[in-house]
Structure 1
Amino acid sequence: MTIEELLEKYATGVLDFSGANFAETNLSGIKLTGINFSDANFSVANMSGIHLIDSDLSYAKLNVARLSGATLAGSILNNCSFNVANLMRADMSRTQMRQASFIRAELIRTDFSRADMCEANLNSADLREATLQQANLRHANLSDANLRGANLREANLEIANLSGSNVTAADLSGANLRDAEMRQTNLCMANLSGADLSGANLRWADLRGANLIWADLSGAKLSGANLQGADLTNANLSNTSLVHANLTQAKLIKVEWMGAELTGATLTGAKLYATSRFGLKIEGIKCEWVDLSPTGDRTIIQNFSEDELKDFFNATPPTIRIVIDLPLEYEANFVIAGTYYQISQEYRGLIQPPSVESGSRKTAFTFRVDSDEALLATAFMAILPFKDANTTQKIIYNIVDMIRQEAINTKNAKLSSLAKRLMSLLDEAINKLKIIKQTKKNLEVAAKLDFAKAPTQIILTNSSAQSLTVYDNPNFGKRLVNRTTTDSDQDPANDTEYNIPSINMILEFIENFYVINP
């Protein structure tokens, strides 16, 4: 069929041209809407600038065709063949291209936004600076493709194959890459912030300088991967394999990586502020020093000998232990649990519920925190449901102030920096406390319980397994048979004196982790 015959029939209202043969035909610049070209042959045709909006080209053959600048927006292209075709700057947005084939196709700056490309074959395709925002590429084959500088924001690449592809400087923020195959993929300087890479295979991938802030890499395989200088702030690396990975100067601030395997990994110069150091597999780890400063500016450096390195990465979880001098009954359990839930809605440091040990005489609540620095501020909030809260909070504030005064007296810059961070965290807790007291009624219910009125002990344990008793109610463990109501209701917070840990005990508690020695 000639182009003249096509246009003549189209002008009379004919829209069905299924199975037609337009191989090597010049169709450049023509405008056709809602036409049926299913199973048609356009191989080696010149279709530059063509408009085929909302048309059906299912199973059509467009191998080696020229479609640069073409517009096929909203068209159905399922099972189409575009092998070695030129679609540079074409508009393929909102198209349906399930199982379509683009092997070695030129797709530079092509717009595939919101296109359905499920199971499409893009092996060795050139997608430099292409737009694939919110595209469905689930189970697609992008192996050896060139995606340098491409826009893949919020794209669905679940179970997709990107092995050996070049994704340098591409934007994959918020993308779904669950269980994707990405062996030896070049992701250097790529933006993967907020991306879901859980279970992905990234063995030997190049992630130098990549942005992985808030990315989910749980269960991912990163053995041999190069993450030098990558930003993994707040990333989830739980149970991730990082065997022999290069994390030199990587930003690992506030990372969750319990169960991660770091056997043989290199972490020299890694930034580890507020990152837990327990539950890791570290055999053969290589690390000469780490940066513990809050912003990763190297103001707090920790150097290691071999023995010190093992101790550093075999830390225990920092915990807050509140022991109550009464057994936990059902009513108290229900009310206290509800109170902590309400507190956690404002203060996220208590979002994880405590472990509870209840005996015949005493009850213990144990809270695990993410870092040693968070211990005092979190304890300030954790004690809130109990009558001893006022006294305990005063002691915690005094402890932080003692650290500040010691820093001034000794002119210790590192201790001064720590004091500022602790005071900042405590000020945040105080502000949250004001909001909670104004809006949360559960506190009033808890205050009426005998359980909440009972004497308490508050013990902090840091990541070096050192403990500090913040407060020990003088009546703890001394329940008297004939105590009067006045005695039992006495509020220790009204006492003019209460025991505060000595400055030496406090400094010993913080010394190892915070590296305050000059």
Structure 2
Amino acid sequence: MEVEEFLNKYSQGVRDFTGVNLTEANLSGVNLSGANLSQANLSISNLSGANLSQVNLNQAKLNVARLSGANLTQANLSAAILNVANLARADLREADLFQAAMIRTELIRAELSSANLSEANLTGADLGEARLRLANLRGANLSEANLRGTSLTGANLQQANLHGAELSRADLSGTDLRGAELRQANLGMANLTGADLRGANLRWADLSGVNLRWANLSEAKLSGANLSGADLSNANLMNTSLVHTDLSQANLIQVDWIGADLTGANLTGAKLYAVSRFGLKTEGINCEWVDLSPDGDRSQIYRLSAEEARRFFHQTSPTIRIIIDASLDQEANFALAATYYQISQEYPSFIRPASIEVGERRTTLNLRIDSDAQLFINAYLAASPFDNGKKVQENILSILQIVQEESEEYLLLESEKMELEKITNHINQTLKNIKKIKPGKYLSKNISKLDFFKAPTQITLTNSSEQALNVYQDFNFGKRFVVNNIWENLQNRIPDTKLALPPINLIFDFLKNSYL
């Protein structure tokens, strides 16, 4: 059909042009809104600036067509062939491009917000600075595509193939990239805040300087990736593969990465404040120094030898163990849980419930925490429900005060000055925090009437280097069955005095190996 005839029919109200052949036609600037051009052949045609809103181009051929600046809002381009077409600055909002062929198509600065590009083939396409906000690209092939500076906020890229794609400085905040293929992709300086990358393949990808705050990278594969200078604060890296990954000077503040594989990774200069350092695979890790300052401002730099780095990234969690010389009953269990719940509402470091082992004669509470720095204050809180809790707390305060008073005498060597400053700063802050605590306000009703909480206790702290420190043991602990199995007689015969404090050298060794 000739162009003139085609345009005359359209002007007369005809809209169905299924299968029409308009190859090499010049239709620039024309209005074809609402026309049915399904299966039409428009290859090499000029449609630049044309109004094609709500046009049906299902299975149409548009190879090498010029559509720059065209209006294709809500157009149906499903299964259309647009290979090497020019769609620069075209408006494709809410357009349907399901399974469209767009190999090496030019879409520079195109508007594709809320468009459906699921399963589309965009291999080698140029989408530089395009807008794809809330677009559906599930299962799309974007391998080797250019998406530099592209806005993909909230887009669906589940299972998409972005192998070798250029995504530097792209905005991918809030995008769904679950299971996406991103091998060797360049994401340098991209914004991936809050993105969902669970199970994504990012092997050998360039993520230098990328913003991954609050992103979910659990089970993702990042082996060999470059994350130098990246911001991963508060990100989820649980069970993530980071083998030989470059994390030098990356911000990992409050990251959750239990189960991550860091074998051979480079963490020199990483910001690691409030980061759990257990449950990790760290063989062959490279880490010359780390930043443990709360704001990542390098105010607390710690240099590590190879051996110190190995111990720094340990595989055990700090634990508070309380052994009670009585068997736990249901009423006491309820009161204990209620008390610890009240404490956790004010102290987030106490949020994990205690694991409880109940025997015929004794009960063992194990409270696992995320940081060595919280051991003393959490032990102080954990002792609150027990009758000898005040004595436990007095012991803890005495231990901390001894460190304050005798630290300079104990650490005289030049090489230990950094350890001295680290320990004393932590102790001073812990004492300050403890003085604000009012343990009595957390106690569950009737707790003082229950026999379980009157029983003798033993409290031991174990740091992340698996060193133990016994902070309290009741003099009557373990002696309940000594005198004819009569507990009352034993109470009358043995005074309730507290155990002597641990030797100062044991206290300092415990603190030095806690990496506070």
* Equivalent-residue separation in structure 1 for 2:10 and 2:451 (angstroms): 86
Work out whether residues 200 and 220 of structure 1, in 8 Å CA contact, stay in contact via their aligned partners in 2: yes
* Equivalent-residue separation in structure 1 for 2:377 and 2:476 (angstroms): 25
The residue matched to 1:364 in structure 2 has which SS?
strand
User: Looking at CA atoms only, which structure, 1 or 2, has the larger radius of gyration?
Assistant: 2
Work out whether residues 39 and 58 of structure 1, in 8 Å CA contact, stay in contact via their aligned partners in 2: yes
| Cα deviation 1:462-496 (Å, max 9, x = unaligned) | 11222233444555445584649x99xxxx9xx9x
Could you say which residue in structure 1 is the equivalent of 2:235?
A: 235
**Using a 3 Å threshold, how does the CA distance of structure 1 residues 289 and 446 change in structure 2: closer, same or farther?**
same
Could you say which residue in structure 2 is the equivalent of 1:37?
A: 37
Q: After the TM superposition, which residues 244-393 of structure 1 pair with which residues of structure 2 at under 5 Å, given as runs?
A: 244-314=244-314, 316-334=316-334, 336-337=336-337, 340-341=340-341, 343-344=343-344, 347-383=347-383, 386=386, 392=392
* Equivalent-residue separation in structure 1 for 2:35 and 2:434 (angstroms): 67
Unaligned runs of at least 5 residues, structure 1? none
- Cα shift at 1:364: 1.5
Q: After the TM superposition, which residues 53-452 of structure 1 pair with which residues of structure 2 at under 5 Å, given as runs?
A: 53-314=53-314, 316-334=316-334, 336-337=336-337, 340-341=340-341, 343-344=343-344, 347-383=347-383, 386=386, 392=392, 413-415=421-423, 417-419=425-427, 422=430, 430=437, 443-444=444-445, 449-452=450-453
The residue matched to 1:366 in structure 2 has which SS?
strand
The residue matched to 2:321 in structure 1 has which SS?
strand
The aligned amino acid for 1:457 is Q
- Cα shift at 1:165: 0.8
**Using a 3 Å threshold, how does the CA distance of structure 1 residues 141 and 5 change in structure 2: closer, same or farther?**
same
| Cα deviation 1:66-117 (Å, max 9, x = unaligned) | 2222222233322122211111222222222211122111111222222222
The residue matched to 1:322 in structure 2 has which SS?
strand
* Equivalent-residue separation in structure 2 for 1:7 and 1:389 (angstroms): 91
The residue matched to 2:308 in structure 1 has which SS?
helix
Could you say which residue in structure 1 is the equivalent of 2:461?
A: 460
The aligned amino acid for 2:288 is E
Normalised to the residue count of structure 1, the TM-score between the two structures is 0.84
Deviates more, 1:110-119 or 1:163-172: 110-119
- Cα shift at 1:209: 1.4
Work out whether residues 289 and 302 of structure 2, in 8 Å CA contact, stay in contact via their aligned partners in 1: yes
- Cα shift at 1:418: 2.9
The residue matched to 2:452 in structure 1 has which SS?
helix
Work out whether residues 315 and 465 of structure 1, in 8 Å CA contact, stay in contact via their aligned partners in 2: no
Work out whether residues 423 and 512 of structure 2, in 8 Å CA contact, stay in contact via their aligned partners in 1: no
* Equivalent-residue separation in structure 2 for 1:389 and 1:466 (angstroms): 23
Q: CA RMSD in A?
A: 3.5
The residue matched to 1:378 in structure 2 has which SS?
helix
* Equivalent-residue separation in structure 1 for 2:283 and 2:199 (angstroms): 23
Deviates more, 1:413-422 or 1:109-118: 413-422
Work out whether residues 144 and 164 of structure 1, in 8 Å CA contact, stay in contact via their aligned partners in 2: yes
Work out whether residues 274 and 373 of structure 1, in 8 Å CA contact, stay in contact via their aligned partners in 2: no
Could you say which residue in structure 2 is the equivalent of 1:24?
A: 24
* Equivalent-residue separation in structure 1 for 2:283 and 2:43 (angstroms): 58
- Cα shift at 1:10: 4.1
The residue matched to 1:106 in structure 2 has which SS?
coil
- Cα shift at 1:53: 2.8
The aligned amino acid for 1:214 is W
Query: % of aligned pairs identical?
Result: 55
| Paired positions, count | 501
**Using a 3 Å threshold, how does the CA distance of structure 1 residues 167 and 449 change in structure 2: closer, same or farther?**
farther
Deviates more, 1:304-313 or 1:83-92: 304-313
* Equivalent-residue separation in structure 2 for 1:326 and 1:68 (angstroms): 81
Work out whether residues 408 and 416 of structure 1, in 8 Å CA contact, stay in contact via their aligned partners in 2: no
* Equivalent-residue separation in structure 2 for 1:97 and 1:383 (angstroms): 64
The aligned amino acid for 2:202 is L
Could you say which residue in structure 2 is the equivalent of 1:47?
A: 47
Unaligned runs of at least 5 residues, structure 2? 412-416
* Equivalent-residue separation in structure 1 for 2:33 and 2:347 (angstroms): 57
Work out whether residues 312 and 515 of structure 2, in 8 Å CA contact, stay in contact via their aligned partners in 1: no
- Cα shift at 1:507: 3.8
* Equivalent-residue separation in structure 1 for 2:403 and 2:170 (angstroms): 46
* Equivalent-residue separation in structure 1 for 2:210 and 2:76 (angstroms): 36
Work out whether residues 152 and 170 of structure 2, in 8 Å CA contact, stay in contact via their aligned partners in 1: yes
Work out whether residues 114 and 136 of structure 1, in 8 Å CA contact, stay in contact via their aligned partners in 2: yes
